[in-house]
Every structure is written in structure tokens, then in C-alpha cells.
A and B are shown apart, each in its own frame.
Chain A
Amino acid sequence: MATDSSSRRPTFLADHFDTAEQQADAAKLGMWVFLGQEILFFAGLFVAYGVFRSWHPDVFSAASHALSKPMGTANTVVLLFSSLTAALAVRAAQRGARHQTTALLLVTIACALAFLVVKYFEYQHKFHTGLLPGQWFGVPRTFPGGAVMQRGEAAPALPAGAGAFFSLYFVMTGVHALHIIVGIGVLTWILIRNLRGQFSAEFFTPVDNVALYWHLVDLVWIYLFPLLYLID
């Protein structure tokens, strides 16, 4: 530590660090710790899910059939693929292949947008068929772009307590979708920095960290999908 003179300091190295390794290690550690708090944030929802499902196993099982398995599966594939492209983008950045990094980041962002589009259609369907949380359950509502169905027209007959399932469905997938939107934001930020040529084989920590965040968003979905869609 503290051996490089000011004349040889690379431009990406902040003043308060001694070496590039120290800076990269600190940023990586900070990101992992931050991901730890993300897991605890979602943990509250998973605990609520566990409690409510243990109380009403039949209701949860019946309600899960009202979710669209094909759409959920499609979104799972899309997210897993985007995690792959995010990981490849890190590898490309590490090799200093700027154009390849750009292409892979664009594919990742496109997958994230595709996920949200599928989610939009899923939400729309839930609103129109009245598969809604708590006190709203069973009453069809309007949702942007689409016709409202009659009560019970498309939804299977569900037990009265299914509102609790849909409360959790909307909160869990909603908070997850919020993380997808934040992910699109930070991926775009990284894309712009990459286009400006700020990353190199020596300095690509931000790409690495954003990809870590993206993997976590993916990981949460890997748990949400079976817990909500594939109960039986």
C-alpha cells in the first residue's frame, strides 16, 4: 500500500484509495454486503408467504392454478438468459472488448424489458378477472389496454381466502418488478459509461457489480416462480 506516486495514478483510481486492487476489492465487498441486505428485504415477504401458506395450504394450491404457467415459464427463461448475457458482458469487459460488452448489455436490457412486458399482460389478466388482493378479490377492475371480464368469467372458482394469496402475489412480484426497473436503470448507466470508453481490462468493477445485482434479481425470481406458480 501507499507506494504509487501521484504521477502514476490511473484516472479511475479515487483519491482515498492507495491501489486499484484496494478500490476494486472495497467495491466488490460493498456490493456483496448490499446484496445481503437485499436478501433480508425479500426474506420478510418469503416468511409471510410461508406463514400464510402453512395456514391455508389448500387455498394457496388452488389459487396458484389461476396464474399463467406458460407466461411464468417464459419469464423464467428470459431472466435466466439475461443473467447469462450479463455474465458474458462482465467477461467481455474484463477482456477489454468494448463493442462486445455493449452488445451483451443491450441484450440484457432487452430481456429485462421483455420480462416487464410479459408481467404487464399477466397483471392485466389478473385485474380483468378480479384475481386481486384482500378486499378487492373477486371484483374485476379495469387495467390499461383491455376489456374487463365479467365476474368469474375467466377465473376458476376460488375459495374465499384466496385474496391473501393474491396480496402476496402482487407484493412479491411487484417489489421484484421494481428491482427489474432499477436494474434497467443501472444497466443503462453502465452501458453509457461503456460507450464513453470508461472501462478497460484494468477497470471494469462497475460492470461486475451491476451484473452481481442482476444475478440477485434473477435469483429472487428463481424462488418466486416455483413458490407462486408451481405449488402442486
Chain B
Amino acid sequence: MTTATTDAPTPHAGHEPDPRESYIETTHSLAGTKQGALSWLTTLDHKRIGIIYLCLVLLAFLMGGVFAVLVRIEHLTQGKTIVDADTYNRIFTLHGVVMVFLFIIPSIPAALGNFILPIQLGARDVAFPRINLLSVYIYVLGAGFALYSLIHGGIDTGWTFYTPYSERSNSFVIPMLTGAFIMGFSSILTGVNFIATIHKMRAPGMSWGRLSLFSWGLYATSIIQVLATPVLAITLLLLILDRLFDLGIFNPKYGGDPILFQHFFWFYSHPAVYIMIVPGMGIVSEIIATFARRQVVGYWFVAMSSLGLALLGFLVWGHHLFVSGMSEYAAMVFSALTFLVAIPSGVKLFNWLATLHKGSISLASPMLYALGFIFFFTIGGLTGLFLGMLAVDVHLTDTYFVVAHFHYVMVGGTVMAFIGGLHYWWPKMTGRLYDETLARIAYGLVFVGFNVTFLAQFVIGSRGGTRRYWDPPPQFHQLHVVSTVGSWVLGLGFIVMLVMFVRSLTGGAKARANPWGSAAVEWQTSSPPPLSNFAVQPTITRGPYDYHLATPDELSEDR
């Protein structure tokens, strides 16, 4: 993939680091040469920034996970199990807010994308390294506001902050809204940075047709981040002003409209679903190509379906409002547009399956997560079509069916892809291998636990079990117990995974540059990569999945 040119290694301001010294060891940073933690806190290196984001989003995932477990434990017995109804409202709200705004939105783009994207482009860094660092601090500031609200008892509005209740609730709504508002700018800056990076920072020979599908996914994601997030920002700002000054924008008493909030909110939050899933699909494309040893079938279809999802994502927000009071003609249009989403999603699924067909498949742990993604996303996507049907939606709105549907997409889709990507690029990021047996055990627990937890909720919801009830009707009790037990298995899977990764960091075997035998660009540099990503500027001579052009030596595996 990379052929050495005669160029000198990249010079860096002030001093010339050893081009082979890994990004972890180097002491180069914004403020010149710095040691220890300070060299991380002031770093401009996209790889270190990606690692910082990774640590932050994993902390958020842990916090959101604890709230999830508490929600499930509350349903273990009828009536009160551990918390009262008011606390229950706060816990499920905090689970949603933390998982959406602190974890899942930045998870793949800001953590894995930051690390991998410039390397896949053959670039030395993102286009705006200072803005990249700024985005981390903006995220931390926003998270600080969210934590402030949380420490003071959190909020009880649901993560969607629907008016009119969010204007009346006496919980700490304003700090939480401010936190989400601020974190939005972190997301926007990442998007701006990635768009400029993909357009302007590609290495010689890196044509659009040689771009990795993960990069295409991030490109589509960045467009959504830039165009949708500001609408959330103005919505939250209006809600904050409404609460502070009684402006009445969302209050009919003064000529405003609470439904307008729902339109505004979902104009961001539906595209946000694609911010979550599209980069995950990119990861799945990478993993499937690597572990099937094949060119991805229909490369351009897979790449363009990411952009198709980004575009359609802006046109379907109304399907969240079918029962909120909307003209039936508008509802029909939104329903029809919603069905269109199945086309680019189906293009991806069928192309992945076609890629697997007659591939040389290796069932290593990243591949297991990719296959799990296909399984979960198919269920999550198809149940989404049920919800897009107007008549069915009237029955299913605000039931556990909706909860199970979006958890199949968000957890079964995005989180599986994120964890799969973490396994896949772990040797590149840390320079260490991990224990494959433990990884498979963790995968088995996650797969089984997840299905038990949420298949039960599909059944509850289709029978009319309403979401967000502190004390569900008794006929659903048994299924709730099944779901709760499933959540313990799921949680155990993540604990095993944590142990596996910690053991890898402390005593894992050293990874070679290309432990999976992949043909993609990022595996051509050492593990972990040097500060400027490649010891010499790469010139790209083939696509990331051109296995027929790679030498057998390049593609040999570690295990």
C-alpha cells in the first residue's frame, strides 16, 4: 500500500523527534516539549486526543450503564424495589442523557475516528489540531454542567426534554440543558474538522475511490453533525430562555407552541441517530473486508448509502410526532420518507453479506462483533419500519417496543460496532494484543445478555406495556424479570471485556504493525504509530480492500 518516497520525515516545530518514536512515548505538545500528563493535556496529536476522548466516553458509558442497571433492578419486583417513583424518573432520564450526549454521540467519531481517520487518509494530523483539542475541553466543560445537574439530583423530564413539562419541572433542568448545548459545539467542531481533513489532507494517491468506508462514514456523519447540531443548540437555548425569562416560545399562554419544541428537537435528534449509526456501519465495512479477505462488494454503493442515510435523516423527524398532533397528510409524507431509509440500510446489509459470500472468513473477535451488528441491526432496522407505519405506530408509541427497537439499533448497532472497532484497532492504538479467549467469552455474554434483555421488551411493548412506568402492570412482571436478568448477563460481559483490555495493557504481547493481515492503510505503519503517523510520507497506490494487489507477506496474520 505505501511506497517509501525520498522525502525527509516531517519536521516538527522547535525540535525533531525521532520519526520512529511512538506517539505514546513522544514529549512533543502544544506548549513545546512537556513531560507526563501535561504533554497529554496540551497535545495537538489527533491520536492522543482520540485516546483522551476514548477514556472520557468509556467513563460516560460506565456511568450510563450503572443507571441502566438501576432501572432494570427497579423492575425486579412489583412495587418499590430499590427507589421511589420520583427517583426512578430521574434515573431513566439520566441514563438517556448520559448515554446519548456524553457517550454515544462522541463515541465513534471523536474517539475512534480521531485516532484512525488521519492515518487512513495518510495524513499527519487533522486539518485543525488546535480546534480538535479545543473540542475536548468544550466536551469536558459541557459534561461538567451535566454532572453539576446530576449531583444536585438530576432531571426528571426524560432525555428528550419535552415541553411543557420541562418548563415546569423543578429539577435541575437548566444546567443539564446548558451542558447538552455546550457539548453540541464539541460535536460541531469535530464535524468541521473532519470535513476539512477528508477534503484537504489526503496523501498523494488517496483518491476518493480509495477512501476507506470508515472515512466515508465519518464524512457523512460530519455533515450531519455540522448541519443538525446547531438546530439542537438554538432549541435548547430557547428552552433555557423560556425557563429563565418566561418568553413563552414553547408556551401557548403567550402565543407559543409546545409541539414546536418536538419538531425542533427531532430535527436534530433524528439525524443524531445517524450520527450514531453511520460511522458504526463504516467500522463494520472495515472489519468485514479485513476478516473476509475481500474487496467490499459494491464499494460505491456502500459509500454513497452513508451519504444517502445522512440526507434522508433530515427528512424523517416527523415520525416521532405521529401521535403528538400533526396533520394526517404530513404524517403520510413522513411515513413514506421513513420507509425510504430502508433502502440505503438494505444496500449496506446486502453488500456486507455479498462480501462474506465466498470470502476467506476468519471469526476473530472483531469479526464476531461485526456479525453481531448485522444480526442486531437487521432486527432494529426492521422493527423501525413497524414504527414508521402510521396505524401500527398509534398502538406502539411510548411502549417498550420503541425502547427495544432503538436499543437494538443503538446498543446492538452502534455499541457493537464501537466495541468491535475498539477490538479491531486496539493493537494499533496500544501496540498490544489481547486475550482472544476472554474476548470471545465477553462477546458470548454480551450477545446473549443483550438479546434476553431486549427481546423480552419487544414482547412487553407489542402487548401494550408502556415505557417509563415506575410500577408496570402485573401481567408484564415475568417478562420484566427476564429482561432484568438479561441485563446482568450483559453487564457481566462488559466486565469481562474490561478485565481483558486491562490485562492486555498490563501484560499483553507486543503487536506487529499488521496483526490481522489487513490491506488497509492504517496497518502499514508501526503499532503504535509514530507522532507523524508514518515514518515517511506514504504514497497511496491501491484501495484499502484491494487484497488482489497486496503481497502474501503483507497479509500474514499474527495468530
Contacts and interface: CB of A to CB of B under 8 A. Distances in A.
Contacts of A27: 127-128, 196
A133 B200 contact: no
Contact of A16 (B125, B226, B234): B125
B230 A26 contact: no
Given A40-B231, A41-B231, A167-B248, A30 B256 contact: no
Contacts of B527: none
A121 B321 CA distance: 42
The secondary structure that dominates the A interface is helix
Contact of B8 (A5, A37, A38): A5
A164 B238 CA distance: 13
B526 interface: no
B5 A2 contact: yes
Contacts of A22: 200-201
B102 to A, nearest CB: 21
Interface stretch (A44-52, A81-89, A109-117): A44-52
A164 B254 contact: yes
Nearest to A34: B192
B118 to A, nearest CB: 9
A29 B199 CA distance: 9
A164 B255 contact: yes
Contact of B249 (A15, A34, A161, A167): A167
B246 A16 contact: no
A163 B255 CA distance: 8
Given A15-B124, A48-B238, A33 B230 contact: no
Contact of A135 (B124, B131, B254): B254
Nearest to B193: A30
A164 B246 contact: no
Interface stretch (B9-17, B442-450, B496-504, B547-555): B9-17
Contacts of B129: 14, 16
Contacts of B204: 1-2
Interface residues of B, number: 54
A109 to B, nearest CB: 24
Interface residues of A, number: 46
Contact of B195 (A1, A25, A29): A29
Contacts of B235: 44
Interface in B121-147: 123-129, 131
B228 interface: yes
A52 to B, nearest CB: 6
Contacts of A135: 246, 248, 253-254
B192 A56 contact: no
A52 B250 CA distance: 11
B537 A167 contact: no
Nearest to B254: A134
A37 B248 contact: no
B435 interface: no
B363 interface: no
Interface in A163-221: 163-164, 167-168, 170-171, 175
Interface string B251-279: 10111110010001000000000000000
B200 to A, nearest CB: 4
A9 B8 CA distance: 13
B226 A33 contact: yes
Contact of B238 (A38, A161, A171): A171
Contacts of A14: 129
B336 interface: no
Contacts of A29: 195-196, 199-200
B12 A163 contact: no
B245 interface: yes
A77 interface: no
Contact of B227 (A3, A36, A45): A36
A29 B227 CA distance: 15
Contacts of A47: 264
Contacts of A163: 248, 254-255
Contact of A15 (B12, B193, B195, B231): B12
B7 A133 contact: no
A6 B203 CA distance: 18
Interface string A37-66: 110111111011001100110010000000
Contacts of A161: 254-255
Given A15-B13, A48-B238, A51-B257, A37 B200 contact: no
Contacts of B5: 2
B241 interface: yes
A136 interface: yes
Interface string B176-209: 0000000000001001110111011101100000
A151 to B, nearest CB: 18
A52 B287 CA distance: 50
Contacts of B256: 52, 134, 164, 167
13 contacts: A1-B203, A2-B5, A15-B10, A16-B532, A30-B195, A36-B227, A37-B227, A37-B230, A41-B230, A42-B234, A137-B254, A164-B249, A171-B249
Given A15-B11, A16-B124, A27-B128, 17 more contacts: A2-B7, A14-B129, A29-B199, A36-B227, A37-B191, A37-B230, A40-B231, A41-B230, A41-B233, A43-B231, A52-B257, A56-B255, A133-B246, A135-B248, A163-B255, A164-B256, A170-B247
The 3 closest A-B pairs by CB, nearest first: A164-B255, A134-B248, A44-B234
